[in-house]
Amino acid sequence: MEIGYIDRKMSDEVRDVYSRLYNILCIHTKLNILSMSALQSMGYNGFKRWHRCRVRDFMELKLKLRCEMYDKFRIKPSFNDVEVNYDPTSMEEHLKSWDKALLDGIQELGNISKEFYQIAGISCEIAKCAMHKMMKDYEKVGRYHKRFTESDWLTLDMHIIDDSLHCKYKAKEEEHGYKY
């Protein structure tokens, strides 16, 4: 096979894998957007900032994926966006749903990474990056869920964590030039 040449079968397989990857990135972008609104309405501005930072992370990965598809494989991307409904009414409901969404996403990203390597012979860095971000969030969500369950979902305890997240992610946003 010549450098820069990709056969039709490989092109279709790559397109399929990238389409599934893009779908996961879209789902998690929208889940983070919807989580921002839900948590802000519950009074948790630190958790809102956490999700806002993740929106930016996943938007950046979506843009990288579009560029990579053409740059590496000369395939013009044509992705469809997804519809997601998510409206938790409590922090407990949010963390349980978020935990499941993250685990499902991590598992699918693992499958995508494996398939991509089998097809292209190289690792899919975008899938690895998304999986890394989601694994960190999965660990945090598990810790928060355990802590809040042990404190019987005491609002004061949730707001202590929220205040800490607010300071942390406000500093991160300002570091990147985002001012709110």
Structural Rg of the chain based on CA atoms: 18
pLDDT tens for residues 55-86?
999 999 999 999 988 888 887 877 777 899 99
For residues 141, 143, 147, 149, the Cα torsion angle rounded to the nearest 10 degrees is 60
Residue indicated by tokens 């469809």: 80
pLDDT score at 1 = 40
Q: How many CB atoms lie within 10 A of CB 74?
A: 11
Q: Which domains does the chain have, with CATH numbers?
A: 8-175 (1.20.1260.10)
CA–CA separation, 60 and 44 (whole Å) = 25
pLDDT tens for residues 114-150?
999 999 888 999 999 999 999 999 999 999 999 999 9
pLDDT score at 9 = 74
Q: At what angle do helices 125-150 and 45-73 cross, to 10 degrees?
A: 160
pTM: 0.89
